[in-house]
Structure 1
């Protein structure tokens, strides 16, 4: 599943992108420094469904701090010390409202597969079938990776369980759609 591109969400006068909301939510969950956030993002597989790059974590923290949504109460004692960020009351409120809006509101999600399918006249049936089989193999691999990440972190808190459940449901639905169309003879002689 490719990371969808979402526009920002206006929440009580605060506009948050999904990446900002993820970082803010992780800070609300527990005060952390940038390296901690990177570890949590990696361990939970968050990059599978967001556009948070390693280099953007500190940029997002700086933006959230400038807007008064997070703060680092004490300055680092030494150059090697890390700033631990805490959510402010405004940050907790913005995170809660943002999460609620993204859960409740159906929003269009651009999907590159649909762009490719809308251009089927440009492909032969054989090319299309091969592309579908390739995608099916990738979806199968992604399902296996998500399930492995899920079991490696058990027992899971409710938010993580729901993220894994929803992600797997979407992948299984795509797998089912692909499998119904990949009913073509083997073309390994190419």
Structure 2
């Protein structure tokens, strides 16, 4: 369904943020932000992801012309117009429809600066609808199977995701409110 892997999505965000970046700079930023801990991203997958993004025409690279030491000529990556369009589409999709507790949603949040506040608010409202529908389906399945009469280990399989969804709904509502406040401040 997604055109980009989570690694490619994250790499596009970093390159968009930096305007231009070398693989080393991208790696350094990934370490600083702690992406490795929560997004399961290794150094090899970063370079493979950059190569894939280049192959898809979403980024382009050029030799920087600044060689220091014995290694190869450093390469700098920059976003293409198609790359920025793809990034924006991925952000909107990840904010509006990824499951609760999904790294994809976190990646979308990390890239809020690259979409208009109104677009982010609309996507997050769709996310609230999505979460509401998901909660309703789980609740219906829970009730149809016996609800509170179910053994604890079965109830927990329903109650845990419903609890996570309720928490997520409150979180998303707060983010929407903050974005709306920021929008008012700039008018």
TM-score (normalised: structure 2) = 0.49
Higher helix share: 2
TM-score (normalised: structure 1) = 0.48
